[in-house]
Structure 1
Amino acid sequence: MPTPERSQSPSPSAVPSSNVQAAASTSLANEHLSYPSASAPAAQTPPASTKPRPLLQDRLYVGNLHPSVDEYTLLQVFSKFGKVSKLDFLFHKSGPMKGKPRGYAFVEFASKDDADKALTHANDKLLRGRKLVVTYAHQAPSTKLVQAVNTGE
């Protein structure tokens, strides 16, 4: 018994028209994209590296903290030098160390003189067996250095 011959040409819906699709996607893209007009020059902003960073002389970086040091301990230590206006004590947000202290904090004082006093008196002082690293916040060491110090590498 002879088998019926099948047509070798694919159905019209199986072969998309590339020209139609390309035109549709181009018009769709043009609806969502905007280009600057030739008449108005784009506002040029200098790169971030050329802008001077504001010098925060009332905010201190406190590093090399022992894991048992908490916010209360830091407030006790740094309140001796003046009024602490803000304390940023950082914790790990994820991973196996989630919820544990990062080993550094930022202490902000009400006045620059108090911050200077804390910087000179607290830097290189022992707190629970570790020498504190106290600098102005803009001079904080990189996180790789902080991790190396904290792990003893």
Structure 2
Amino acid sequence: MSSQKGNVSRSRAQKHKNNTAFVNNKYGATVQVQKANSKIHDGLCKHCKGVLEWRVRYNKYKSLTQPKKCIKCAQRTVKDAYHILCKPCSLELDICCKCGKKEKIVIPINSEGDNDDEEEGGQGEVKGEEKDEEKGGEEKDEEKEERKMKKKK
């Protein structure tokens, strides 16, 4: 049976079908997979964000070993894989870091600087979340004191 246009009547089900979905950290995640899973893709349009999330989900994401050259400022400041613009240029021009198109950015870049770690002071914080963090800080202090007491014994 050919796949000509108009000849789409098919009588059987798909021949090779996956029983379970692919899991990228099934047998214990490596350091690279853990970094890729925890990475926040900021400064990207909706399409590019989806592409990078697909790459992470199916173990196709390969991080950079050395910074790449930015196409706007021509300096080696691009530290994220598959990006063509550095974050300061993207912020200044308000364009996607990966495709370079002027589209709506899904997750905005921190204007404070290049933070490869997770965002600490996000713009969308809620007052209730701040209170929870303060309580968590007190609990951590108590745990530290307990550890010190155990060490003294």
Fold similarity call, TM over 0.5? no
Higher relative contact order (CA 8 A, sep 6+): 1
* Short-chain TM bin: under 0.3
When normalised by structure 1's length, the TM-score is 0.24
When normalised by structure 2's length, the TM-score is 0.24
Instruction: Flag the structure with larger Rg.
Output: 1
Greater strand proportion: 1
